[in-house]
A and B are shown apart, each in its own frame.
Chain A
């Protein structure tokens, strides 16, 4: 987004966020669509704590897929992949696994 869609200000820039959020919705994919992701894997929309409606698409890791639920508190963890770091999410440290 090169500008703010609400006030049309061009004074916008990337901002650091905490990496904390909650699972807004999720699905357990039982199909191998891409080589790197053997099923089952969890695709989730995570809503970041900074702003209602601010959601990112991600995978939930470090948790049995059947234990994922809407509202689960999660935190980001970065997976190195080539020259990028892919933002994945895992249950927050104080959340019982």
Chain B
């Protein structure tokens, strides 16, 4: 199936990002949106679409900091099109919705954003309130919380099953966290940049076996804004724009990826950099397999030793530190970093030669989405 997408990323912006910032999430949202407008060379009057995930409300404290209406009121935007909700293809489903809107000609410039302030919210609400509510969907909550199942349980059960089925080990899984930490050192946005060794990882506190504290992304406060535009509306701007080649919108790692690959002649072997979701480290393995970088059961050996996924490896992964070390900016971080690498703006973590094709993926289980980007 050919899909006539016509969408480019024209603006990237971030707020300040950190642990326990104690800032108004609307302020973080405005910082990121203004930075993206400035990056794109657009004014708020040029923005005619707004898209966000998961909208203004969520059960988990600090899981969202602003909705569509908030952004419109903050910046004085009158959208022709908007979308903000939680049942989308991964967190970046709010971006793939924008891709569809600009491709259809419903909007020219869509401001997409995601704001989190979980780190500060958990000061008041406590960690337990956050994790017992953060279980993704209602049946799991109803049937899981009485047994002490939390957000991490889902990832831990997946990891245990994977270890059993394929004989994988914690030493192999460690490569996801170690690679992320290594790359975070050169990302000023990242919250954890101190070096980490395999011994540090293996000695770390187990949260829910076999996952240790370094397999879990740390909550942070921050906002990322990404402007998606119709290329016909960008005029003859000299600014670097990143083309969105394809969108993966199915329910499941493989299902989402298959839909993305079906829209393009580009294949997994053409990808120069991969920013796959790592809310829990095991999800990165499942995405590497789902996206076709290796076969099911092979992700453990694919990342073994870490050289293949390093910045100078065959498939650089989590080049900005991922959520595991940069912080739980929840999906948008991966799109931001993919675009940053494609534009050659990675500074000391820039992949050389400058990548021409990148993939970004978000979410887990059936809440999944991915983007194929080029520059």
Interfacial residues, chain A to chain B (CB-CB below 8 A)? 24-34, 36-37, 41, 43, 45, 56-59, 70, 86
| Complex Cα–Cα for A59 and B148 (A) | 8
Residues of A contacting B143 with CB < 8 Å? 56-57
Residue of A nearest to B164 (CB): A70
Contact status B161-A34, CB under 8 Å: no
| Complex Cα–Cα for A43 and B208 (A) | 9
Q: Interface of chain B, helix or strand or loop or mixed?
A: helix
| Complex Cα–Cα for A26 and B357 (A) | 38
B207 interface residue per 8 A CB criterion: yes
Q: Shortest Cβ distance from B204 into chain A, in angstroms?
A: 11
User: Which one of B60-68, B69-77, B149-157 contacts A?
Assistant: B149-157
Contact status B160-A29, CB under 8 Å: no
Contact status A29-B145, CB under 8 Å: no
Residues of A contacting B149 with CB < 8 Å? 43, 57
Contact status B132-A33, CB under 8 Å: yes
Given contacts A30-B208, A70-B164, could you give 6 more A-B pairs where the C-beta distance is less than 8 Å? Answer: A29-B207, A30-B205, A41-B148, A57-B144, A59-B148, A70-B160
- Of the listed residues A28, A33, A36, A45, the one surrounded by the most CB atoms of chain B closer than 10 A to its CB is A33
Q: In chain B, residues 220-248, which have Cβ atoms closer than 8 Å to a Cβ of chain A?
A: none
Contact status A59-B147, CB under 8 Å: yes
17 contacts between A and B (CB under 8 A): A26-B157, A27-B156, A27-B160, A27-B211, A29-B148, A29-B150, A29-B207, A31-B207, A32-B128, A33-B131, A36-B148, A41-B148, A43-B147, A43-B156, A57-B144, A70-B160, A70-B161
| Complex Cα–Cα for A33 and B146 (A) | 11
Contact status A25-B157, CB under 8 Å: yes
The 6 A-B pairs of least Cβ separation, nearest first, read A27-B156, A37-B148, A25-B161, A28-B209, A25-B157, A70-B164
Residue of B nearest to A45 (CB): B157
| Complex Cα–Cα for A25 and B208 (A) | 13
Count residues on chain B whose CB falls below 8 Å from chain A CBs. Answer: 27
Interfacial residues, chain B to chain A (CB-CB below 8 A)? 128, 131-132, 140, 143-150, 153, 156-161, 164, 205-211
| Complex Cα–Cα for A52 and B122 (A) | 40
Residue of A nearest to B145 (CB): A34
| Complex Cα–Cα for A45 and B144 (A) | 10
Contact status B164-A34, CB under 8 Å: no
Residue of A nearest to B140 (CB): A57
| Complex Cα–Cα for A26 and B211 (A) | 12
Contact status A24-B209, CB under 8 Å: no
Q: Shortest Cβ distance from A30 into chain B, in angstroms?
A: 5
Contact status A26-B148, CB under 8 Å: no
Residues of A contacting B164 with CB < 8 Å? 25, 70
| Complex Cα–Cα for A36 and B128 (A) | 13
Residue of B nearest to A27 (CB): B156
Given contact pairs A33-B131, A34-B128, A70-B164, A28 touches B206 in the complex (Cβ within 8 A)? yes
Q: Shortest Cβ distance from A71 into chain B, in angstroms?
A: 8
Residues of B contacting A57 with CB < 8 Å? 140, 143-144, 147, 149
Given contact pairs A28-B209, A34-B132, A43 touches B145 in the complex (Cβ within 8 A)? no
Residue of B nearest to A86 (CB): B146
Q: Shortest Cβ distance from A2 into chain B, in angstroms?
A: 14
Contact status A24-B161, CB under 8 Å: yes
Q: Shortest Cβ distance from A88 into chain B, in angstroms?
A: 8
Contact status B148-A30, CB under 8 Å: no
Partner of A43, one of B157, B161, B206, B207: B157
Contact status B148-A34, CB under 8 Å: yes
Residues of B contacting A25 with CB < 8 Å? 157-158, 160-161, 164
| Complex Cα–Cα for A36 and B147 (A) | 9
Given contact pairs A34-B145, A59-B148, A70-B161, A27 touches B153 in the complex (Cβ within 8 A)? yes
Residue of B nearest to A59 (CB): B147
| Complex Cα–Cα for A45 and B156 (A) | 11
Partner of B209, one of A30, A33, A70: A30
- Of the listed residues B140, B146, B207, B211, the one surrounded by the most CB atoms of chain A closer than 10 A to its CB is B146
Residues of B contacting A36 with CB < 8 Å? 148
Residues of A contacting B211 with CB < 8 Å? 27
| Complex Cα–Cα for A32 and B206 (A) | 12
